Amino acid sequence: MTGSLVIAGLGPGAEALVTPEVSYALAQATDVAGYIPYVARVTERPGLRLHPSDNRAEIDRSRYALEMALAGRHVVVVSSGDPGVFAMAAAVFEAVEAGPAEWRDLEIRVLPGITAMLAAAARAGAPLGHDFCAINLSDNLKPWALIEKRLRLAAEADFAMAFYNPRSKSRPEGFAKTLQILRESCNDARPVIFARAVSTPEEEIHVVPLTNCKPEMADMRTMVLVGSSTTRIIQRTGAPIVYTPRSVET
Amino acid sequence: MTGSLVIAGLGPGAEALVTPEVSYALAQATDVAGYIPYVARVTERPGLRLHPSDNRAEIDRSRYALEMALAGRHVVVVSSGDPGVFAMAAAVFEAVEAGPAEWRDLEIRVLPGITAMLAAAARAGAPLGHDFCAINLSDNLKPWALIEKRLRLAAEADFAMAFYNPRSKSRPEGFAKTLQILRESCNDARPVIFARAVSTPEEEIHVVPLTNCKPEMADMRTMVLVGSSTTRIIQRTGAPIVYTPRSVET
């Protein structure tokens, strides 16, 4: 009996953003594992076992999923957004590398999804239309000094920036420091997009000049996008359009 | 009669990676415009007009689509991958900003898609599992000196990197220079992923240590991903798994 493990991205929240590939994998699964709110998005059906687990239990969840696959189950580990971007795929492969040899030869597939920065950018216009970087602002798993170094170099490179996990109750100060670093490196009018709960009923999008940004504008459900020096705002009757042109003048 | 304009991402090639949101928009459209091979992916039906156009005609195509929307048509501009990542969304907004005032108040929506770097990363494992950047290596619309500056700063920041448009017949030398810059900044064993035509029948994935990379390993259908200093390779019976762990040691 040969099992399999699929690590699937559910996108940012709306069902209309789940790829058919992922829907098909869920329809074939015998077991679905993941963080509680993501497993809650999977439709129950006879023969499907759901294995919700808590946040920060990524390695335990990965090992459990690998054990089930080795036992012949068809397991889908669900992730929000894209599983390869600050999500479950790296955690599963960490577990594979540290685990027993037979885990390496399991059939393991990663199915991409719409990651939050793409959904947020689409709502605002095209702020990531030119070169950009993506930085996880959480210092749970890396030193703050590295985040700060990357922010300064990203500003020097004039990348647009996408920030995942900008701020949580247990880390209120990192995003305040991030804004301070940006103010030292970027012009005051640099557009910053706060995109909260994109594609869900709670969605809120705000475009704020850097000089007016406040740390409390972000929480753990917020994606923050920062324009490059060439990013433009088109004012109009409704929400403004923020986009980064494809060209940079010589 | 009120028209609308949707800029939709078709993903990297496979129909299973087109979101239901995009399929629905195509089903509602009166007109679809885009680069010839992307329009060819849209199913013909009575009442739908297809407007394929050549590559590098992005601004003309955008203006034509905006004019049709203003005339009351429901227009979808199709893009490969995600329209906001080195694709059609920025071109449409450039046209809006430079165009007549009434274009600004059209209903314009961007529908995200699976961009090539996410599909390529998923096939290789999770090489973008930690902080990363995305750089368009084409110098058609920006000076080469800016690309070089960004490459050096990205290496200094220890980002994983995703390169779009690495090499074309008219630009054979840029990717050779890119490899040289990476060799000056990164260790020889740094894994580089060449992901060609991901999710299509012509898909090819190769993982090559930086020291063995050759410019001709990439063409315009290739996405190139470069690991960071912490990226790891899991050897196994089949293709190796390349992933970047979530943690960086303090």
Domains of chain B, earliest start first:
4-114 (3.40.1010.10), 117-243 (3.30.950.10)
> Which two structure tokens, joined as six digits, stand for A128?
């990531």
Residues of A within 8 A of B133 (CB-CB) are 131-134, 154, 157, 159
Place of tokens 């000089």: A211
A129-146 mean pLDDT: 96
Task: Please state which of the ranges A149-153, A168-172, B37-41 shows the lowest mean pLDDT.
Answer: A168-172
* Alpha-carbon gap, residue A23 to A83, rounded angstroms: 15
Q: What does the pLDDT read at residue A85?
A: 98
> What φ, ψ does residue B74 adopt, rounded to 5°?
-105, 100
A249 vs B110: which has the higher pLDDT: B110
> Minimal CA–CA distance to A115: which of A225, A37, A32?
A225
CB A42 within 8 A of CB A31: no
Q: What percent of chain A has pLDDT over 90?
A: 94
- Closest partner residue to A97 among B87, B154, B234, by Cβ? B234
Strand B74-79, strand B31-35: pairing: parallel
Q: What does the pLDDT read at residue B55?
A: 84
Q: What does the pLDDT read at residue B1?
A: 65
Interface contact flag, B131 A126, Cβ < 8 Å: no
Interface contact flag, B236 A135, Cβ < 8 Å: no
CB B85 within 8 A of CB B93: no
A50-65 mean pLDDT: 94
H-only helix segments in B170-216? 173-185
Distance from CA of B125 to the nearest CA of A (A): 7
- Closest partner residue to B153 among A126, A156, A241, by Cβ? A156
Q: What does the pLDDT read at residue A250?
A: 67
Distance from CA of B159 to the nearest CA of A (A): 8
* Residue in chain B nearest A116 by alpha carbon: B112
Q: What does the pLDDT read at residue A171?
A: 86
* Alpha-carbon gap, residue A85 to B128, rounded angstroms: 6
Interface contact flag, A243 B20, Cβ < 8 Å: no
* Residue in chain A nearest B94 by alpha carbon: A245
Q: What does the pLDDT read at residue B65?
A: 98
Q: Is the pTM of this model over 0.95?
A: yes
**pLDDT tens by residue, A90-131:** 999 999 999 999 999 999 999 999 999 999 999 999 999 999
Q: Could you tell me the pLDDT band of residue A249, with boundaries at 50, 70 and 90?
A: confident
Interface contact flag, B17 A19, Cβ < 8 Å: yes
CB B18 within 8 A of CB B10: yes
* Alpha-carbon gap, residue B174 to B164, rounded angstroms: 12
Residue A246 has pLDDT above 90, yes or no: yes
Residues of A within 8 A of B234 (CB-CB) are 93, 96-97, 104
Sheet strand arrangement including B107-111: B49-53, B31-35, B74-79, B4-9, B107-111
Interface contact flag, B118 A115, Cβ < 8 Å: yes
Question: What rounded mean pLDDT belongs to chain A?
Answer: 96
> How many CB atoms sit inside 10 A of residue B18's CB?
21
Residues of A within 8 A of B149 (CB-CB) are 157
Q: What percent of chain A has pLDDT over 70?
A: 99
Q: Could you tell me the pLDDT band of residue A238, with boundaries at 50, 70 and 90?
A: confident
Q: Furthest-apart CA pair in chain B: how many Å?
A: 62
Q: What does the pLDDT read at residue B6?
A: 98
Interface contact flag, B91 A246, Cβ < 8 Å: yes
Q: Could you tell me the pLDDT band of residue A21, with boundaries at 50, 70 and 90?
A: very high
Q: What does the pLDDT read at residue B250?
A: 67
Q: What does the pLDDT read at residue A169?
A: 86
Amino acid identity, position B130: H
CA angle A235/A239/A242 to nearest 5° reads: 60
pLDDT in tens, chain B (250 residues): 689 999 999 999 999 999 999 999 999 999 999 999 999 999 999 999 999 999 878 999 999 999 999 999 999 999 999 999 999 999 999 999 999 999 999 999 999 999 999 999 999 999 999 999 999 999 999 999 999 999 999 999 999 999 999 998 888 899 999 999 999 999 999 999 999 999 999 999 999 999 999 999 999 999 999 999 999 999 998 899 999 999 998 6
> Which two structure tokens, joined as six digits, stand for B230?
């912490």
Q: What does the pLDDT read at residue B144?
A: 96
Interface contact flag, B141 A246, Cβ < 8 Å: yes
* Residue in chain B nearest A14 by alpha carbon: B21
Residues of A within 8 A of B236 (CB-CB) are 104-105
